[in-house]
Every structure is written in C-alpha cells, then in structure tokens.
A and B are shown apart, each in its own frame.
Chain A
C-alpha cells in the first residue's frame, strides 16, 4: 500500500553505513549529533534566557529521571502504559487479522466489511476519544478499547491486501497437489500474506502507541506515561515532563527494534518471503 516506501526508508537506516568502517567510528559518529544538541541545550539552559523552571538543564532532567526511577513511580507508569498498549493491540491483532483474512477470501465478507472499514478509517482515532469517554467512562478501559479500535484498521487493510496478493498460481498448484482447505490456508495463504500482515501489525502498533499517549492525557487514567507528562504540567515540572518524553521515545524505539525487526527475521526472512 502507500506505506511501503516508508518502510523501505526506515529499513535503509540500518544499512546506510558502509561495512568497512570500524564499529567505534560509527558509534562516535552517531553520538556526535546528540552531543552537539546536548551542549547547545545545556548552554541555553545555563544562560538563563528562559526561566529554569520551563527550560531545565540536562542535569535536572537526569536527576528527575533518576529520582522517579528509584522510587518506582516511573516504572509503574511505564508498565501500565505498556500493559494497556499490549492489551489493546492484542485485541486489535486478533480481530484485525481474522477480519482481514475473511475479507480477502470471501467476496461476501469483503462487500460487507469494506464499506464500513473505508468509512471509519479516515477519521483519526484520537477524534473518537471524547465519544469513547462518554460511552465507557473515564479510566483505563476506554483507553484500551480506543487503542484496539485505532490499530485494527491498518491491520485489517494490510491483511486483506496480503491475502489478495497471494499468487493465484500457488493456490491452484496447491489444490492440484491435493491440499484441502485447512492445509491450503496454513501452508499457502498465511505464509504468502505474512509480509503484508506483519507490515499491518507494525503500522498498527505504531499507530496504537501514538494514540495511547494522547488518550492517556485525556482519559484521566490513574497511571500511565501520557498522564504523567500531562499531570506534571500543572506543577510546572518540566524536568519530569522531559524525562517522560525521553522514556516514551526509548520505549517506541525498543518496540520497533526488539519486537518487530526480530519477528520479521524469524518468520518472513527465514521462509524467504521478503525479496
């Protein structure tokens, strides 16, 4: 779909460095821009152009991070956010893949589901948040449901595209060799559609992550990183907010690198489905 070039772009990040450069040089080169940024930030913060309450030095941010980690508040926030993310995402993955496969295989299901999905998909997920809050009340439950709702769409679309992209000749040759429906499904359709399904899951998870942070600010959840940042605003705790933003970024990066790239290596690349 339209998202494939972006993944191409993202995957280029990993391979952009020439192989002959030493590991240390690469590490130093990667660290350099962050060092420049950190020094620029620190100089601005120390010059006192902005009030230090609003523009804390990195030392303060680090101290806030350490303080919150040591007394267990930050891990608790992060854990609740992750649980909510995976709860919602798991729901979306199960429903989305099932609906997508059904839509890809049966014309009737496609005709029934496609109009509904295409009407709902262009509405940004976060726009539903107030409505979900009215319907399901404040707290963690509407946040999780909204995450599931939002991330289901890319999963459905990509699974559907993937199932339809399975080459007709594979299906027919499997049938000619006497595969029954079940084996056809497990051995041909699922592996054939898997690159698309994984792309959909990846997009869905990214979407879920972006939405969840916003929803946590709106839904007054008791614990959660989004709430932590938003709550810190009331007390002008900019250092806590920035520490929270850093943790959110680190978690986002970890989700991408650890979960999906690994999953892709174990399934798609091993089966030779990715060209």
Chain B
C-alpha cells in the first residue's frame, strides 16, 4: 500500500484506454492462472485422474455437449429449478402482498417465516426423501423451500415500501381497488419483487445442486458430478462445474438484468429502491 490510488481515473486519460488496460490485465490473469494450473497438472505431482489437464477438461466438455449428455442433464436441472421457483413465486407474491396490506395476515405468517428461514433448505433433504422418495419431487420441493423466503420477504417489504402518498393521491384521483393494485402497488413494489426473484434464483441454484447430490435421481448436473466422483472422473466433474457456473452466470446477468431493464428501469423505479 505504498501509493494512495485514487479510484476515479484521472480526467486526462480517457476511460476507454483504462477499460482496455483492465481487460488486457484480466486476460493476462486468466492466462497466467490457466498456465499455472496446467503446469501443476502436467508435473504429475498430483495423480492425473484427480487433476486433469485443461485440454482433457475441454475435450470432455465438448464431447459431452456435442452428444447431448450434458444438455439433457442441464435441462433436467433447469426443469427442477424453474418448476420449484414458479411455485414459490406463485405462492409468495399473493401472500407477500396480503401480508403487506393486512396486519392480521402479517402477524400470522411473519413469525412462521422468520422461524423457518434460518433452516437451510438442504437440512430438509433427508426428511423429504423419507416422505416423498427419491427423485424429482424432493428436488422441486427443496427449490421451492429455498426460494420461497427471499421472495416472500421482498414482496412484503416492497408493498410496505410503497409511498403512502401515492396511494392517497391515486385514491383522491378516483382509482378503485383494482386500479390501485395494478397501477400503484405492483409497479411500486416491483424493484423489491425483482430483487427477490434474483436472490431466490441464487438460493435455488445452490439448493438444486445439493438436492441432486443427496436425493440422487438419474438426471441433473449435480447428479453428474456426484456420479463422476464414484469413477474418479475429475474431468467430467469439472466440465459439469463449468456448465453449472455458466448457467448461473447467464441467469444472474442476462435474464434478471434484462427483466430489470425492461420493467423497473423503464418505470423509473430503481432510484426509489435505493433511497
């Protein structure tokens, strides 16, 4: 920490070149890291089955993508995540809105939610396996459990955060309950709802992999990793990890990012959510 670096780039150097320099440095980091890994893998210090070379990982990834194996597994995992999340959203949005609008509903469900939330969803896996057997049901229920609470709390907080002045203004301008709901409450709570969906997805994505490890059905990316462990296929494990990371990244950045742009930013609500 010899020099105090000011974070803003100095006005003399245009942001463009700074950006380029960052991109180049990032690329160098990744290349150096990859070379280091490759050197360790090739040195034979660790057994090759445990630490496959990058070429082998890439080859496995490519072969399994082309013959469709990993695609089928990814589809199975996505099916579980999306079904579980859809149920969670379908429950959480009406319930959260009711909790935000009516005190008795809040008083009933809030203590339950705050007591159930600290229980990690994976803790339920053994219980659910006993109740529902191995397979899709357990994974979907675990995803549902994992994504319900972030969703519910955010919807509830969002409805409460709607400025009461807007409600009164809309009421004074003659909006009925229905218009009030669709034109004021839903747009007003939407930044929170989208944040909730984002967090719910992150949790669901972790939960589904864990559930697939434990409640081994025969499909799913988590199952691929767990199954590959039995045969010491570290290259397949890493290929599956790459697919998992990629899907997670795509959802987080591209899908939720674009939902946010399409709805919240257009309605000009984001700034409000931050204040």
Contact = CB atoms under 8 A, between A and B. Distances in A.
B206 A32 contact: no
Given A54-B130, A124-B248, A242-B127, A115 B30 contact: yes
B237 A34 contact: no
A248 interface: yes
Nearest to A14: B114
A22 interface: no
B2 to A, nearest CB: 8
Contacts of B76: none
Interface in A219-275: 225-226, 229-230, 232-233, 236, 238, 241-242, 244-245, 248-249, 251-253, 255-256
Contact of B120 (A6, A55, A213): A213
Contacts of A175: 4
Residue from A108, A185, A213, A256 with most neighbouring chain B CB atoms (10 Å): A213
Contact of B195 (A6, A210, A217): A6
B contacts with A: majority SS: helix
Interface stretch (B61-69, B178-186, B207-215): B207-215
A112 B107 contact: no
Contacts of B248: 122-124
Contacts of B191: 5
B108 A33 contact: yes
A129 interface: yes
A30 B112 CA distance: 9
Nearest to B213: A218
Given A116-B30, A122-B245, A131-B238, A181 B1 contact: yes
Contacts, number: 201
Contacts of B5: 105-107
Interface in B19-47: 21-22, 25-27, 29-30, 33
A213 to B, nearest CB: 5
A8 interface: yes
Interface stretch (B86-94, B150-158, B168-176): B150-158
B7 A54 contact: no
Given A122-B248, A126-B206, A115 B153 contact: no
Contacts of B273: 5
Given A105-B5, A252-B118, A217 B125 contact: yes
A30 B111 contact: yes
Most buried by A among B6, B109, B191, B238: B6
A214 B226 CA distance: 13
A13 B126 CA distance: 30
Interface in A13-39: 13, 16, 29-34, 36-37
Contacts of A135: 50-51
B97 interface: no
Interface in B204-227: 205-206, 209-210, 213-214, 221-222, 225-226
B124 A245 contact: yes
Interface residues of A, number: 79
B6 A168 contact: yes
Nearest to B126: A233
A100 interface: no
11 contacts: A6-B199, A33-B112, A34-B112, A107-B5, A115-B29, A122-B249, A124-B248, A125-B206, A135-B50, A230-B214, A251-B118
A213 B123 CA distance: 6
Given A2-B195, A126-B209, A185 B1 contact: yes
Contacts of B240: 127
B136 interface: no
B192 interface: yes
A3 B157 CA distance: 13
Q: Which of B30, B108, B123, B273 has the most CB of A within 10 A?
A: B123
Interface in B226-248: 226, 228-229, 232, 234, 237-238, 240-241, 244-246, 248
B70 interface: no
A6 B154 contact: yes
Nearest to A37: B112
